[in-house]
Amino acid sequence: MERQRRNTRSKQLMMNLLDSSQTALCHEEIDRLLAGQIDRVTIYRILQGFCDQGRAHKITGDNGKAYYALCHDCNAEEHHDDHLHFRCTQCRKITCLDVPVAVPALPTGYTASDISCIVSGCCPDCHNRI
């Protein structure tokens, strides 16, 4: 019972974190932001759970690191995160952009189940700093 309550609280904490973040977050950032409130293993488990439930999606950066951002109209059966992801080469942040990505015409025999598109460059924050 106690364990269950703590689990619900941890999920809520992480949901709020992802919700309030303007950018996608990686494990290290989440760990840092939570300042030890949730152990690393639990963070991994909860993030995986969010992805399975269609509440968050994973973006793999060009550095091979996994980043997570909230989904908008996904569910446990299907993800619809076919929007552009932007990676800033200055601050290294990954942002979901509300720009749809079209699935390219694939050769016969190939079916797309997921599309990921990352554009690298300079974000508005860093642009203003220069």
- Positions that interact with Zn ion (CB under 5 A): 57, 69, 71, 74, 79, 81, 88, 90-91, 96, 123, 126
Residues paired with residue 26 on neighbouring β-strands, in sequence order: 67
Collapsing DSSP states into helix, strand and coil, what is residue 19? helix
Residue 107 Cβ vs Zn ion, minimum distance, rounded to whole Å: 26
DSSP state letter for 24: B
Residue 35 Cβ vs Zn ion, minimum distance, rounded to whole Å: 24
Collapsing DSSP states into helix, strand and coil, what is residue 11? helix
Residue (32 or 127) nearer to Zn ion, CB: 127
- In sequence order, the 6+-apart residues with CB closer than 8 A to the CB of 53 are 75, 76
Residue (43 or 123) nearer to Zn ion, CB: 123
Residue (6 or 49) nearer to Zn ion, CB: 49
Cα–Cα distance, 45 to 52 (Å, whole number): 11
Residue (9 or 100) nearer to Zn ion, CB: 100
Residue 60 Cβ vs Zn ion, minimum distance, rounded to whole Å: 12
